[in-house]
Amino acid sequence: VTPDEFRRHGHEIVDWIAAYLENIRDYPVLTPAPPGDLADRLPPSAPERGQPMEAILADFRELIPSHVTHWNHPRFLAYFANTASPAGILGEMLTAALNVNHMLWKTGPAATELEQVTLAWLREWIGLPEEFFGIIYDTASTSSLHALAAAREFADPEARRRGSRPGVVYCSEHAHSSIDKAAIVLGLGQANVRKIAVDGEYRMRPDRLDAAIAEDLARGRTPVCIVATAGTTGVTAIDPVAAVAGVARARGVWLHVDAAYAGPAAIAPEYRRVLDGAAEADSVVLNPHKWMFTPMDLSVLYTRRPEVLRAAFALTPEYLRTAGDPRAVNLMDYGFQLGRRFRSLKLWFVMREFGREGVAEAIRRHVALAQEFASWVEADPCFEVCAPHPLSLVCFRWKGTDEENARLLDRINASGAALLSHLVLDGRFALRLAIGNLGTSRDDLAAVWETIRRLAREL
């Protein structure tokens, strides 16, 4: 690809992206293509000789979007819906062009310093104290894995050299499965993840937490980490972090707060409360790629004990040794990966293009839409809301059997008109409608609600 060809195809691709974002409602949210359909249309082997960009782009247009589940669609209302905003997409393009690997400050001064600056800005926006050090990883699963590794380092500094001993991790029964996975990867053992009972609003009970720790200590087990969730995956319950922090402090156990989805809500002053108590935690994760309009993938881990995180991971082979300057932070020392993408660039673009008020306004609008949707469900005698809905997620069900609700969900999703997901709550199948896309309008939700009611009647 010559520079001129690059320019031509680059413009073509930007035009394609602009048209895609403009006309995304023309696509079914969920592709009707069956599993294997795309694979069957692609050649079994890669080409021997290079092919012209025209042919590659033609195949992209014909084959790829028709086999995509369109996460950027305004009626994508499943899991935690999100948005790759135009500003974020532009930042991501430049990241690929610069191709920086900032394992060391020296190998990526701009990426290292921009990461620290954007995360200091974000820390201020969400109201965490200045002593919190921020670092970007790919996903919340990776951020929480690093938090648990730091917690283990804190509880058992010999583990790194000797190997892990079983140690207990505490979280609510609604915590994300990434906590179990972190315990598996670290060798703490999945059987040592204690699921603490929740109250009537699905929040971890601090009294039960304290009792579980007391019992483990009495049996000679080592508590390693308490994980409180601010915005659970199932129903966005917010654990009482301040009370949990009291238990963590009294017991001398590391407290990690998983605010992967809800953390960005703290940018809006009226939702600052989602991070109440988080300032007392040892680490906090939030995902700009969930509710802060940043393209996949970008997760942020804050810790007030960066020296412990560093002690868990720093290991510098000779060829990577650099002269020590306190302002030259080598981010490879704070995690297991050596190479690091220049992810902060897209976050910088998003934070500047939206401003704090712009992010807060979008979050406010999403919460208001979810509350209105919940009011429609409540007003319909054939449906019920299943859980409190403090943020932008509503769990609800048709007043029928689990099997009927599962069929209803399949029909909604197969219609292509919207994509919802589900959960099992208190043993019953429920539908989850999550708002997180910038394009989702009241009209979208009204149309989706109409479709849901029509399909339910047809069932």
Ligand X SMILES: Cc1ncc(COP(=O)(O)O)c(C=O)c1O
Instruction: With beta carbons less than 8 A apart as the criterion, state whether 388 and 316 touch.
Output: no
Q: How far is the CB of 394 from ligand X (least distance, A)?
A: 16
Q: How far is the CB of 134 from ligand X (least distance, A)?
A: 16
Q: Is 239 in the site for ligand X (CB under 6 A)?
A: no
Long-range own/partner contacts, residues 215-222 (CB < 8 A, 24 or more apart): 216/168, 217/251, 221/166, 221/167, 221/168, 221/192, 222/155, 222/156, 222/165, 222/166, 222/167, 222/168
Beta-carbon contacts of residue 370 (< 8 Å; ≥ 6 apart): 389, 391, 392, 393, 394, 433, 435
Q: How far is the CB of 457 from ligand X (least distance, A)?
A: 32
Q: How far is the CB of 256 from ligand X (least distance, A)?
A: 11
Q: Which CB sits closer to ligand X, 240 or 400?
A: 240
DSSP letter at 282 equals S
Q: How far is the CB of 293 from ligand X (least distance, A)?
A: 15
Q: Is 370 in the site for ligand X (CB under 6 A)?
A: no
Which H, E and C letters describe 63-115, residue by residue? HCHHHCCCCCCCCECCCCCCCCCHHHHHHHHHHHHHCCCCCCCCCCHHHHHHH
Q: Is 105 in the site for ligand X (CB under 6 A)?
A: no
Q: Is 256 in the site for ligand X (CB under 6 A)?
A: no
Q: How far is the CB of 386 from ligand X (least distance, A)?
A: 17
Q: What angle do CA 14, 17, 21 make, to 5 degrees?
A: 145
Segment interacting with ligand X (CB under 6 A) among 61-69, 133-141, 354-362, 436-444: 133-141
Q: Is 333 in the site for ligand X (CB under 6 A)?
A: no
Q: Which CB sits closer to ligand X, 300 or 412?
A: 300
Q: How far is the CB of 233 from ligand X (least distance, A)?
A: 4
Q: Which CB sits closer to ligand X, 30 or 301?
A: 301
Q: How far is the CB of 143 from ligand X (least distance, A)?
A: 8
Q: Which CB sits closer to ligand X, 186 or 260?
A: 260
- Binder to ligand X among 71, 154, 261, 271 (CB under 6 A)? 261
Instruction: With beta carbons less than 8 A apart as the criterion, state whether 344 and 114 touch.
Output: yes
Q: Which CB sits closer to ligand X, 80 or 105?
A: 80
Instruction: With beta carbons less than 8 A apart as the criterion, state whether 156 and 325 touch.
Output: no
10 Å CB burial of residue 280 (0-12, 13-18, 19+) is middle
Instruction: With beta carbons less than 8 A apart as the criterion, state whether 291 and 257 touch.
Output: no
- Binder to ligand X among 70, 75, 152, 176 (CB under 6 A)? 176
From residue 160, give the alpha-carbon distance in Å to each of 130, 163, 231.
Answer: 29, 6, 32
Q: Which CB sits closer to ligand X, 182 or 409?
A: 182
DSSP letter at 33 equals P
- Binder to ligand X among 87, 168, 260, 359 (CB under 6 A)? 260
Q: How far is the CB of 282 from ligand X (least distance, A)?
A: 17
Instruction: With beta carbons less than 8 A apart as the criterion, state whether 212 and 176 touch.
Output: no
Q: What span, in angstroms and rounded, lies between the C-alpha atoms of 30 and 19?
A: 19
10 Å CB burial of residue 39 (0-12, 13-18, 19+) is exposed
- Binder to ligand X among 80, 105, 271, 398 (CB under 6 A)? 80
Segment interacting with ligand X (CB under 6 A) among 31-39, 59-67, 114-122, 255-263: 255-263
Q: What span, in angstroms and rounded, lies between the C-alpha atoms of 432 and 79?
A: 8
Q: Which token pair is 127?
A: 């109201």
Q: Which CB sits closer to ligand X, 119 or 456?
A: 119
Q: How far is the CB of 449 from ligand X (least distance, A)?
A: 24
Q: Is 216 in the site for ligand X (CB under 6 A)?
A: no
Which H, E and C letters describe 113-168, residue by residue? HHHHHHHHHHHHHHCCCCCCEEEEECCHHHHHHHHHHHHHHHHCCCHHHHCCCCCE
Q: Which CB sits closer to ligand X, 70 or 383?
A: 70
DSSP-assigned letters across all residues of 292-318: S---S--EEEEES-HHHHHHHH----G
Q: How far is the CB of 17 from ligand X (least distance, A)?
A: 24
Segment interacting with ligand X (CB under 6 A) among 135-143, 243-251, 301-309, 330-338: 135-143
Residue with tokens 């290991």: 315
Q: Is 178 in the site for ligand X (CB under 6 A)?
A: yes
Q: Which CB sits closer to ligand X, 104 or 431?
A: 431
Site string for ligand X, 292-331 (x = CB under 6 A): -------x--------------------------------
Q: Which token pair is 300?
A: 């942020």
Q: What span, in angstroms and rounded, lies between the C-alpha atoms of 420 and 236?
A: 16
Q: How far is the CB of 264 from ligand X (least distance, A)?
A: 12
Q: Is 172 in the site for ligand X (CB under 6 A)?
A: no
Q: Is 413 in the site for ligand X (CB under 6 A)?
A: no
Judged by the rule CB under 6 A, the positions of this chain that interact with ligand X are 80, 139-141, 176, 178, 229, 231, 233, 258, 260-261, 287, 299
